[in-house]
């Protein structure tokens, strides 16, 4: 009998096993089903391959696809299988990186041939052969020098470049079949573990994200542990393509982005500008109801302001170049908070004034690489729904609760009912006192508890100046979008020497809370378009009603209806084109107008209307006043 050691399982139970037993053998001891599902494991919290032996008393865990880590390992392994298939089909290929990402994986290739969708089919076919071969994933640790020699012999310059920047003396490589890759791992035991996969698309990607480096070809794919999950994902992908805000933005004439004007800068068309105005009016009205005051600040400021705030040192690569104005250096602002600080400092503040709640729809500009720009979701100029609250430390919890109340009310009004919420706690490098950090973190948690919201702790992921709450909304397809954030800041009040006069007639430092609900108007609009597939609810629709006369002789009655509805604040237009009524109805449906009023001889005779809603439901013989009453109720209740 060999030496015995203790393996402690996640539930706290332990088992006595022989020294040198592998994680896979542990899984077999626990149960056949677990061994079948096992992809990798953990020893004392470290992710490792199933083949790794346990050499001392340890905590152990078997990782399956049902965990986030297991899903990433599974998909990372799929990216290696794809790379092996590419290497077999295109032996001259040079390889970049191939990580798992949300919903799938990708791999970057330097190829002489420009890949097409037909090539994806060939690569998938080759991948299936590799999976059927059930090739083991094996790893080896070697010195950097030896690894450089290896990849030099394989003519893989990108791998050599990656090795050269690794700080450790040794690196790890993985092999599956004849394919060799630089990789930390872990991986699934063998290629045969892959059950269901699909290659999705081809895109260009600069090496290391640098526009001055070579453009590689990136293949995106996904993988699941059963075909039903893959089928459901493909359906969601098709639905997401149908809802793509860039496509709908053009079809509904909402916005455009022109290279002639500047990439990453949005041009709002009348329809989009109107929807944006409705959102902004609702935003302002709700803030004014809840004790906020509106402020406005310029688009440029002296560079000294950003040096004081710390942005010039830590954020300069995301800021646009400075400009000279009257021999002074200015930059366009990347954020609004320093300007709000200066408003606060314009006079002495008393403890009796706090909390101060200041809100601004402030447009800011940040440099983003062209490769990451994406419609409204990633732009270079955007408007933040920004607010800053200056309060005493004892007021933090109450203010956070008030913020959560307006956040949830607004998000629910826009149609978002599900959320993922995180509390990010103190990182290794931080400013402020431990007492303030503890007080602020407890306040964030208590506010979430009092609001009845479930949340997760994100350890060490707070910003250096304070803890925060992040809220991700889930759209109609279940996709999570980072939206609202609430951040407690100990840093900027210190850097700008912000104070208030306390009850003791001495200066004290206020706490500053940064808060955004929608995040940015641009990104939120993109999310909103995709959530509703462009079919906005009545209160948000740029055109709420269109009136469709069947023939020219019905135009006067159509115009009369337009006039009556317009007087009541309804956004209404008449389609007076000499087209068939069927074509007018189709066009109204394509424009996703909530209601269409159809008028002909019968409607004129009875002084009634026929109404069709966007779902295709028809109602005839109702009075205009009855319909107006229904519209007004639906708009008021924001249904």
What DSSP line would sit under 317-335, residue for residue?
GGSPPPEEETTEEEEE-S-
Report residue 516: phi and psi, to 5°. Answer: -130, 140
pLDDT of residue 369: 84
Residue 568 pLDDT > 90, yes or no? yes
Are 205 and 113 within 8 A, CB to CB? no
* Least confident segment among 53-57, 188-192, 428-432, 519-523: 428-432
Whole-number average pLDDT of the chain: 94
Between the alpha carbon of residue 355 and those of residues 256, 283, 389, the distances in Å are: 40, 20, 7
Neighbours of 445 (CB within 10 A): 18
Residue % of the chain over a pLDDT of 70: 100
* pLDDT per position as a tens digit, 250-288: 999 999 999 999 999 999 999 999 999 999 999 999 999
* pLDDT per position as a tens digit, 139-197: 999 999 999 999 999 999 999 999 999 999 999 999 999 999 999 999 999 999 999 99
In 46-95, beta strands by DSSP E: 46-48, 58-63, 94-95
Residue 431 pLDDT > 80, yes or no? no
Residue 216, token pair as written in the block = 């590689």
Edge to edge, what strands does the sheet with 328-332 contain? 300-302, 328-332, 323-325
pLDDT of residue 375: 95
Q: Report, in angstroms and rounded to the nearest whole number, the Rg of the chain calculated over CA atoms.
A: 30
Q: Is 217 left (phi over 0), alpha (psi -120 to 50) or beta?
A: beta
pLDDT of residue 504: 96
What DSSP line would sit under 513-556, residue for residue?
EEEEEEEEHHHHHHHHHHHTTT---TTT-SS-EEEEESSGGGHH
* pLDDT per position as a tens digit, 80-133: 999 999 999 999 999 999 999 989 999 999 999 999 999 999 999 999 999 999
Report residue 395: phi and psi, to 5°. Answer: -95, -5
Residue labelled with tokens 């050499």: 55
Are 549 and 574 within 8 A, CB to CB? yes
- Rounded to whole angstroms, the Cα distance separating 270 from 267 reads 10
What mean pLDDT is predicted for residues 341-355?
Answer: 97
Neighbours of 556 (CB within 10 A): 12
What DSSP line would sit under 185-254, residue for residue?
----SBGGG--EEEEEEEEEEEGGG-TTSPEEEEEEEEEESSHHHHHHHHHHHHHHHHH-HHHHHHHTT-
- The candidate with the shortest Cα–Cα distance to 624, out of 639, 603, 638, is 603
- The candidate with the shortest Cα–Cα distance to 538, out of 441, 437, 454, 413, is 413
Sequence-distant (6+) residues with CB within 8 A of 218 are 106, 107, 108, 109, 202, 203, 204, 205
Residue 621: enclosing H or E segment and its boundaries? Answer: strand 618-622
Handedness of CA 294, 305, 499, 346 (dihedral sign): negative
pLDDT of residue 310: 80
Residue 89, token pair as written in the block = 């089909």
What mean pLDDT is predicted for residues 325-343?
Answer: 91
What mean pLDDT is predicted for residues 371-377?
Answer: 90
pLDDT of residue 322: 81
Helices (H) and strands (E) in the chain, counts: 20, 33
- Rounded to whole angstroms, the Cα distance separating 274 from 268 reads 9
Report residue 167: phi and psi, to 5°. Answer: -80, -30
pLDDT of residue 317: 83
- Rounded to whole angstroms, the Cα distance separating 215 from 274 reads 39
Please tell me the pTM assigned to this model. Answer: 0.83
* Least confident segment among 75-79, 163-167, 327-331: 327-331
- The candidate with the shortest Cα–Cα distance to 183, out of 79, 288, 104, 254, is 79
Neighbours of 441 (CB within 10 A): 21
- Rounded to whole angstroms, the Cα distance separating 382 from 265 reads 8
pLDDT of residue 429: 83
* pLDDT per position as a tens digit, 522-555: 999 999 999 999 999 999 999 999 999 999 999 9
Catalytic residues: 337, 366, 384, 386, 388, 468, 514
* pLDDT per position as a tens digit, 471-528: 999 999 999 999 999 999 888 898 899 999 999 999 999 999 999 999 999 999 999 9
CA 508 to chain centre: 38
pLDDT band at 325 (very low <50, low <70, confident <90, very high): confident
pLDDT of residue 1: 56
Q: Domains in the chain and their CATH numbers?
A: 4-63 (3.10.20.30), 68-234 (3.30.980.10), 256-297+334-531 (3.30.930.10), 300-332 (no CATH), 545-636 (3.40.50.800)
- Rounded to whole angstroms, the Cα distance separating 605 from 230 reads 57
């Amino acid at each position: 009998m060999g030496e015995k050691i203790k393996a402690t399982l996640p539930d706290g139970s332990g088992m006595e096993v022989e020294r040198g037993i592998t994680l896979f053998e542990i899984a077999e001891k626990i149960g056949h089903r677990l061994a079948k599902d096992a992809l990798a494991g953990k020893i004392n919290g470290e992710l490792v391959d199933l083949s790794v032996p346990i050499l001392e008393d340890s905590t152990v865990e078997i990782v399956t696809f049902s965990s986030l880590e297991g899903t990433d390992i599974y998909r990372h392994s799929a990216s290696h299988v794809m790379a092996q298939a590419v290497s077999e089909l295109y032996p001259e290929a040079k390889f970049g990186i191939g990580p798992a990402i949300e919903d799938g994986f990708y791999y970057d290739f330097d190829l002489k041939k420009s890949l097409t969708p037909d090539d994806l089919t060939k690569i998938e076919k080759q991948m299936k052969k590799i999976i059927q071969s059930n090739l083991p994933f094996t790893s080896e640790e070697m010195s950097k020098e030896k690894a450089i020699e290896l990849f030099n012999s394989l003519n893989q310059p990108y791998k050599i470049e990656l090795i050269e920047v690794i700080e450790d003396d040794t690196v790890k490589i993985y092999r599956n079949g004849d394919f060799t890759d630089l990789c930390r791992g872990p991986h699934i035991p063998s290629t045969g573990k892959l059950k269901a996969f699909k290659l999705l698309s081809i895109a260009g990607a600069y090496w290391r994200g640098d526009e001055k480096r070579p453009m590689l070809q990136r293949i995106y794919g996904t993988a699941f542990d059963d075909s039903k999950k893959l089928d459901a994902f493909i359906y969601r992908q098709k639905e997401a393509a149908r809802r793509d805000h860039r496509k709908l933005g053009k079809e509904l004439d909402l916005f455009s982005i022109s290279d002639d004007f500047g990439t990453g800068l949005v041009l709002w068309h009348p329809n989009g500008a109107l929807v944006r105005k409705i959102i902004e009016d609702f935003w302002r009205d709700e803030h004014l109801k809840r004790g906020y005051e509106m402020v406005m600040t310029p688009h440029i400021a002296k560079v000294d302001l950003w040096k004081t705030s710390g942005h010039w040192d830590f954020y300069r690569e995301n800021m646009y170049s400075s400009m000279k104005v009257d021999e002074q250096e200015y930059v366009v602002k990347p954020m609004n908070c320093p300007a709000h600080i200066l408003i606060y400092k314009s006079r002495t503040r008393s403890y009796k004034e706090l909390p101060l709640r200041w809100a601004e729809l402030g447009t800011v500009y940040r440099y983003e690489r062209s490769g990451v720009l994406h419609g409204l979701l990633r732009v270079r100029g955007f408007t933040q729904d920004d607010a800053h609250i200056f309060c005493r430390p004892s007021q933090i919890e109450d203010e956070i609760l008030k913020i959560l109340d307006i956040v949830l009310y607004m998000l629910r009004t826009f149609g978002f009912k599900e959320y993922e919420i995180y509390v990010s706690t103190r990182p290794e490098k931080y400013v402020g006192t431990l007492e303030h950090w503890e007080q602020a973190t407890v306040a964030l948690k208590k506010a979430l508890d009092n609001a009845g919201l479930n949340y997760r702790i994100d350890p060490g992921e707070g910003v250096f100046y304070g803890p925060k709450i992040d809220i991700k909304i889930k759209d109609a397809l279940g996709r999570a979008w980072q939206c609202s954030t609430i951040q407690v800041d100990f840093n900027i009040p210190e850097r700008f020497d912000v104070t208030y006069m306390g009850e003791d007639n001495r200066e004290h430092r206020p706490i500053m809370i940064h808060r955004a609900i929608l995040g940015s108007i641009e990104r939120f609009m993109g999310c909103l378009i995709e959530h509703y597939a462009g079919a906005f609810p009545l209160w948000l629709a740029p055109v709420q009603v269109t009136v469709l006369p069947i023939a020219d002789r019905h135009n006067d009655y159509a115009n009369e209806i337009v006039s009556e509805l317009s007087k009541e604040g309804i956004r209404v237009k008449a389609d007076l084109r000499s087209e068939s009524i069927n074509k007018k109805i189709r066009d109204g449906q394509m424009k996703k107008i909530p209601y269409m009023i159809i008028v002909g001889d019968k409607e004129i005779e009875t002084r009634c209307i026929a109404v069709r809603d966007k779902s295709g439901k028809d109602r005839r013989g109702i009075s205009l006043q009855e319909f107006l009453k229904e519209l007004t109720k639906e708009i008021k209740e924001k249904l």
